[in-house]
């Protein structure tokens, strides 16, 4: 392979991007827009969620004469940015509104809520105070946030009461339960979890789209035929392209990771360079896929018909929004043949868990093999003469 | 010396015989015109000779090498029917790319670029993006890219399609200049009138070479005044 010729193809492709400002803007800004849109749409804390509260708590007067209502205290500690509280008198009416999506959740405090809590807390009783909870499950993330907010209010109230009642910090915790539980709330914010996926996804989408269209253009404009009649080998042409897309992928990932850090305050626990490297390999592999698919298209219109083929399985199955384990079992094997899954897994491990090459090498190997496979297949296809 | 020789060259697509038993001999330094209506097999012939597609049967040699062969690629130039230039790159970048592909040094590319842009009258547009050039200018740039490495043999597939008459005349001047430099040119066209400028022409019909000679001899032998009439007379004889 002649390196000078290979670099000539890389340089030409990069110069094309430099002159074609609109395409360059698309390549760099599109992932950024996706990051911002997804980030704001999914990443922020939910706000102004209507909830129903049924407060039957009778409260109590302590032996020292102090008026107590734990339910009022907990309600008062619910974050007023997250919740819009509507008071209800009975469960049935609240339940009806929950079913009609008028409210996201019902928190009901029973009449003996304070007394049970106090007996348990201050007098070493065994009663348990239970907050009855019902939640609209249609959005698991929202449901998680609603429960997390209630837990936060509960913890805050307990801490306040411990001070108020002079209970030492090492005393047994108050026994308050919610009737419904949602797995352990994530320590990390949703955007942190989501960002590695969206970084990978937006880059592969733009890369596949642009490489398919550019290579179909090469065939249609006759430049590819001209190259195939020149001393340039098929490998030089394909590797030249791949290197150009590697550079583009690097620029894209710098832009998008900067946005993620600056706008969404995302923490990258691991090596930024490793995160960038994974994205570049992912971009090169998908550029190869784009070139491969372009050979099956006669024009740009046919070419863009391939985009949904890549986009939808990737969005739905690669673990972008939810873990692969949560998709129907019958579809799970499909997820394992989607290269984006390995990109997202690696990026998540690097960015969130702080893993290095020693831990993410399986994903990295799969991505490198995918790149080698798609580029080799393209080279073989180009070598094939009718 | 024959620069191109084919022996019973055939290309079949299922039942269709796109090129049928073509025996072609093109001599060094001549402008050889392959003439014929659309679908007569001209482009298929060029694609086989350049190695873009493989012959079904028969054989061919280019510059003494049996094809397909990588050995000839440095010595041939090819201008496809399409403009085949990078439209989002500048004129200079296009020339430079093809210069580097053919292994010219930076200094050689610099000299050659000046010569070629002067030759195709595009020196004033050196830094223009190719997509901003007129149709004729794009064709001229395409020709310059095909000539950057001083090929011994140039394949030009319908280079004058969609080109205005003035530019077509200019193109033929170029081709004659090349022949004077001992460059062999194989050109396909379906414009019969302009083929008068060729040293020799081969007339193709339905994949077969129905006649081959110097234009004036073809007209004399058929008792016609134009190549078009000669083609029609020869085509009738074949039917």
Q: B129 — phi, psi (to 5°)?
A: -70, 135
The residue in chain A having the minimum alpha-carbon distance to the alpha carbon of residue B72 is A231
Please answer yes or no on whether A4 and B145 come within 8 Å at the CB atom.
no
Please answer yes or no on whether B100 and A386 come within 8 Å at the CB atom.
no
Of the candidates A225, A231, A386, the beta carbon closest to that of B102 is on A231
Residue numbers of chain B with a pLDDT score lower than 50 = none
Kindly state whether B128 is in contact with chain A, defined as any CB-CB distance less than 8 angstroms.
no
Based on the number of CB atoms within 10 Å of its own CB, is A307 exposed (0-12), middle (13-18) or buried (19 or more)?
Answer: middle
Domain boundaries, chain A: 3-42+189-383, 46-178
Q: Which domains does chain B have, with CATH numbers?
A: 2-214 (3.40.50.300)
pLDDT at A63 over 80: no
Kindly state whether B52 is in contact with chain A, defined as any CB-CB distance less than 8 angstroms.
yes
Q: How many Å lie between the alpha carbon of A263 and the closest alpha carbon of chain B?
A: 34
Q: What is the pLDDT of residue A301?
A: 86
The residue in chain A having the minimum alpha-carbon distance to the alpha carbon of residue B100 is A5
- With left for phi above 0 and alpha for psi between -120 and 50, is residue B18 left, alpha or beta? alpha
Chain B residue numbers with beta carbons less than 8 Å from the beta carbon of A5 are 100-101, 103
Chain B residue numbers with beta carbons less than 8 Å from the beta carbon of A228 are 51-52
The residue in chain B having the minimum alpha-carbon distance to the alpha carbon of residue A7 is B100
* C-alpha span between B230 and B237 (Å, rounded): 11
Among A104-108, A267-271, A359-363, the range scoring the smallest mean pLDDT is A267-271
Please answer yes or no on whether B97 and A16 come within 8 Å at the CB atom.
no
| Tens-place pLDDT, residues A98-138 | 887 788 889 999 988 888 877 776 666 667 778 888 887 66
Among A18-22, A187-191, A321-325, the range scoring the smallest mean pLDDT is A187-191
What CATH topology corresponds to A46-178?
abc type-2 transporter like fold (3.40.1710)
Give the residue, A327 or B41, on which the prediction is more confident. Answer: B41
Q: Which of B46, B97, B139, B155 has the highest number of chain A CBs within 10 A, making it the mutation to test binding with A?
A: B97
Please answer yes or no on whether B85 and A221 come within 8 Å at the CB atom.
yes
| Tens-place pLDDT, residues B168-190 | 888 888 888 888 889 999 999 88
pLDDT band at residue A184 under the 50/70/90 scheme: very low
The residue in chain A having the minimum alpha-carbon distance to the alpha carbon of residue B127 is A19
Chain B residue numbers with beta carbons less than 8 Å from the beta carbon of A386 are 53-54
Please answer yes or no on whether A5 and B100 come within 8 Å at the CB atom.
yes
Q: What is the pLDDT of residue A240?
A: 94
The residue in chain B having the minimum alpha-carbon distance to the alpha carbon of residue A386 is B53
Q: Are A238 and A379 in contact (CB under 8 A)?
A: yes
Three-state SS across chain A? CCHHHHHHHHHHHHHHHHHCHHHHHHHHHHHHHHHHHHHHHHHCCCCCEEEEEEECCCCEECCCCCEECHHHHHHHHCCCCCEEEEECCCHHHHHHHHHCCCCCEEEEECCCHHHHHHHHHHCCCCCCEEEEEEECCCCHHHHHHHHHHHHHHHHHHHHHHHHHCCCCCCCCCCCEEECCCCCCCCCCCHHHHHHHHHHHHHHHHHHHHHHHHHHHHHHHHCHHHHHHCCCCCHHHHHHHHHHHHHHHHHHHHHHHHHHHHHHHCCCCCCCHHHHHHHHHHHHHHHHHHHHHHHCCCCCHHHHHCCHHHHHHHHHHHCCCCCCHHHCCHHHHHHHCCCHHHHHHHHHHHHHHHCCCHHHHHHHHHHHHHHHHHHHHHHHHHHHCCC
Those of residues 7-36 in B touching chain A at CB distance below 8 A are none
The residue in chain A having the minimum alpha-carbon distance to the alpha carbon of residue B128 is A19
Please answer yes or no on whether B84 and A221 come within 8 Å at the CB atom.
yes
Chain B residue numbers with beta carbons less than 8 Å from the beta carbon of A8 are 96-97, 100-101
pLDDT at A84 over 80: yes
pLDDT at A185 over 50: no
Q: What is the pLDDT of residue A261?
A: 83
Q: Are A318 and A335 in contact (CB under 8 A)?
A: yes
Of the candidates B81, B86, B96, the beta carbon closest to that of A223 is on B86
ipTM score for this prediction:
0.92
């Amino acid at each position: 392979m002649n390196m000078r010729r290979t670099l000539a193809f890389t340089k030409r492709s990069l110069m094309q991007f430099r002159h074609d400002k609109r395409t360059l803007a698309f390549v760099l800004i599109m992932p950024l827009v996706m990051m911002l849109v997804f980030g704001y749409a999914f990443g922020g804390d939910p706000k102004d969620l209507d909830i129903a509260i049924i407060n039957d708590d009778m409260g109590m007067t302590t032996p020292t004469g102090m008026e107590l209502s734990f339910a009022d205290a907990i309600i008062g500690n619910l974050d007023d940015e997250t919740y819009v509280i509507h008071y209800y008198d009975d469960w049935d009416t609240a339940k009806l509104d929950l079913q009609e999506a008028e409210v996201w959740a019902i928190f009901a405090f029973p009449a003996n809520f304070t007394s049970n809590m106090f007996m348990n807390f201050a007098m070493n009783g065994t009663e348990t105070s239970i907050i009855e909870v019902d939640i609209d499950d249609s959005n698991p993330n929202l449901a998680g946030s609603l429960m997390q907010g209630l837990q936060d209010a509960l913890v805050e109230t307990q801490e306040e009461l411990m001070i108020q009642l002079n209970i030492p910090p090492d005393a047994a915790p108050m026994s308050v339960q919610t009737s419904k539980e949602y797995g352990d709330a994530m320590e990390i914010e949703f955007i942190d979890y989501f960002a590695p996926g969206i970084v990978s996804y937006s880059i592969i989408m733009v890369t596949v789209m642009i490489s398919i269209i550019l290579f179909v253009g090469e065939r249609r404009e006759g430049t590819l035929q001209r190259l195939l009649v020149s001393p340039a080998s098929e490998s030089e042409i394909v590797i030249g392209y791949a290197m150009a897309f590697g550079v583009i992928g690097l620029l894209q990932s710098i832009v998008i990771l900067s946005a993620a850090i600056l706008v969404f305050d995302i923490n990258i626990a691991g090596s930024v360079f490793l995160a960038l490297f994974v994205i570049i390999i992912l971009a090169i592999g998908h550029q190869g896929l784009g070139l491969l698919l372009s050979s099956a298209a006669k024009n740009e219109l046919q070419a863009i018909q391939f985009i949904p083929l890549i986009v939808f399985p990737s969005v739905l199955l690669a673990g972008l929004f939810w873990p692969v384990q949560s998709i129907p079992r019958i579809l799970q094997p499909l997820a394992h043949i989607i290269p984006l899954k390995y990109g997202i897994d690696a990026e998540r491990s690097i960015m969130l868990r702080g893993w290095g090459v020693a831990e993410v090498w399986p994903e990295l190997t799969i991505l490198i093999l995918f790149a080698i496979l798609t580029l080799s297949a393209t080279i073989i296809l180009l070598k094939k003469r009718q | 010396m024959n620069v191109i020789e084919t022996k019973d060259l055939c290309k079949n697509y299922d039942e269709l015989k796109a090129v049928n038993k073509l025996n072609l001999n093109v001599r060094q330094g001549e402008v050889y015109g392959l003439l014929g209506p659309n679908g007569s097999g001209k482009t298929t012939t060029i694609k086989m000779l350049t190695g873009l597609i493989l012959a079904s049967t028969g054989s061919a040699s280019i510059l003494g090498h049996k094809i397909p062969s990588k050995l000839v690629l440095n010595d041939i130039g090819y201008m496809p029917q399409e403009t085949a230039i990078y439209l989002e790159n500048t004129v200079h970048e296009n020339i430079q790319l093809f210069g580097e592909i053919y292994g010219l040094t930076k200094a050689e590319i610099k000299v050659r670029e000046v010569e070629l842009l002067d030759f195709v009258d595009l020196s004033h547009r050196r830094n223009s993006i190719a997509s901003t050039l007129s149709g004729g200018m794009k064709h001229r740039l395409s020709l310059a890219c095909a000539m950057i490495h001083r090929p011994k043999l140039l394949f030009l597939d319908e280079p004058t399609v969609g080109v205005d008459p003035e530019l077509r005349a200019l193109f033929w001047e170029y081709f004659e200049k090349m022949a004077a430099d001992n460059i062999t040119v194989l050109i396909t066209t379906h414009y019969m009138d302009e083929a008068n400028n060729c040293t020799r022409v081969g007339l193709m019909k339905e994949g077969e070479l129905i006649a081959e000679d110097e234009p004036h001899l073809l007209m004399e032998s058929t008792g016609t005044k134009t190549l078009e009439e000669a083609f029609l007379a020869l085509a009738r004889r074949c039917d």
